[in-house]
Homo-oligomer: A and B are copies of this chain.
């Protein structure tokens, strides 16, 4: 059979990893596909001497490569949302299939990109955009296709999970671990996307569309980072039997869909609570199969290339068939996407961990519990710690699920008490039971 011709645009960690994987596993991949996969072009300002690029055309004109006749599939691994956007749209307009690892691009411009792809009869595959080598896109789009998906919760940023794991295991402060993560290459020099939850929000946007059949709506994701987490709260959570993880959560409710990224207490006996270091995991609750969990490496050259090349194999296996591929881009048929409302933060419902800094005198606890009780907020546990510096007492309260708007009012009332010395620390809590 004719070899399938690939252009790899971007020769950084991921692009280089894809080149290497296609070469190293060429025999195994050909056994699976029945086709030879040939890299005809790489797009990069310079070659990489550590890669074998013999016989492959090298150019820094990425838009030009995306138009070439000897290209069936364009692999976009340059990142960003400007040149990447133009390259992907050009490839689509020239009838090329696209494989991309670019979550920011798809979360922000995916509706436009997938529409163009449908119109052009090509496919834009993006397994590598979420949770690296874990085939979670395929699982949601195909493996769980018989299910109505109720919710999903994922550790989908490895840098954040590494930081939280170190904070818990070694009692270290956030800034301290972040500096180490940067030194190790886990975190970027500008770590904003990772630690402020933006990267996770991009990925959650994609997962939520696939799970529920809704358009991509990155701008509606409630996003809270891990920069304000203290070692103190990590320790108190642990005393109460919980771990704090930075989760992306997408959940159906009667009122609409919750899309949120935030630090979350989860019971320590949940499998996902024990996913540590830079690993990723996604827990999916569906109406037929119940809970399933998918775990693995969410980043790095090998895992990301694994997902990119799996997408290439999927495309190759579909060659000779009609249309834009068996599986709709966003899991549901384009005309079957629903405009289910996405809830704003006030409308979301979760349980809470509250930490109060209270003066050590009688009556404070009665005042606080009175406020919660009048707001209809049920308390699951209270932990009062011994007196700290300045004579204050930390009081930790775990609540049952409550509407965020209700909790906001209650917290304002608690903070107005004269015996409360500092803003209330709040962290959301999810039981994640099936």
State the CA gap A326–B315 with chains docked (Å). Answer: 9
Q: A207-233: which have CB < 8 Å to B?
A: 213
* Interface size grouping (class) on chain A: 35 or more
| Chain B residues positioned under 8 Å from A286 (CB to CB) | 306
Q: Which of A294-310 contact B (CB under 8 A)?
A: 294-297, 302-303, 305-310
With A288-B303, A290-B302, A303-B289 known as contacts, the answer to whether A314 contacts B146 (CB < 8 A) is no
A80 at the B interface (CB under 8 A):
no
Question: Is the CB of A67 closer than 8 A to any CB of chain B?
Answer: no
Task: Say yes or no: is A328 at the interface (Cβ < 8 Å to chain B).
Answer: yes
Contact indicator B28/A333 (Cβ below 8 Å): no
Complex alpha-carbon distance, A307 and B147, angstroms: 10
A423 within 8 A of B: no
Residues on B with beta carbons closer than 8 Å to the beta carbon of A143: 127, 135, 138-139, 310
- Select the residue from A33, A143, A144, A310 with max chain B CB neighbours within 10 A: A143
**Contact string against B for A residues 372-383, beta-carbon threshold 8 Å, 1 for contact and 0 otherwise:** 000000000000
Stretch at the interface among A68-76, A184-192, A316-324, A363-371: A316-324
Contact B310 A32 (CB under 8 A): no
Say yes or no: is A397 at the interface (Cβ < 8 Å to chain B).
no
Residue picked from A147, A289, A307, most chain B C-beta under 10 Å: A289
- Tally of this chain's copies: 2
A300 to chain B, nearest CB (A): 8
* Cβ–Cβ < 8 Å partners of A144 in chain B: 135, 306, 310
Are B289's CB and A302's CB within 8 A?
yes
A331 to chain B, nearest CB (A): 6
Chain B contacts for A314, CB-based, 8 A: 142, 145, 326
Q: CA–CA, A115 to B32, complex, Å?
A: 17
- Does A418 interact with chain B (Cβ within 8 Å)? no
Q: How far is the CA of A138 from the CA of B133 in the complex (A)?
A: 14
Contacts of A28 in B (CB 8 A): 147-148, 213
Nearest CB in chain B to that of A139: its residue: B135
Nearest B residue to A334, CB-CB: B34
Q: Per-position contact with B for A125-166: 1 when CB-CB < 8 Å, else 0? A: 001000011110011001111111000000000000000000
Would B289 and A296 count as touching, CB distance under 8 A?
A: yes
Interface residues of A, Cβ cutoff 8 Å to B: 21, 24-25, 28-34, 127, 132-135, 138-139, 142-148, 213, 271, 274-275, 286-297, 302-303, 305-310, 312-314, 317-318, 320-322, 326-328, 331-333, 336
A32-B328, A291-B296 known; 16 new pairs, CB 8 Å cut-off, are: A21-B288, A25-B288, A29-B146, A31-B332, A34-B333, A127-B143, A133-B290, A134-B292, A138-B138, A142-B313, A143-B310, A289-B303, A289-B306, A292-B295, A294-B294, A326-B326
A-B contact pairs, 14 of them (CB 8 A): A28-B213, A32-B331, A33-B333, A133-B289, A134-B292, A146-B305, A146-B306, A288-B306, A289-B297, A290-B303, A294-B294, A294-B295, A317-B326, A318-B321
Closest 9 A-B residue pairs measured CB to CB? Answer: A135-B143, A133-B289, A146-B309, A292-B296, A31-B336, A288-B306, A289-B306, A321-B321, A293-B295
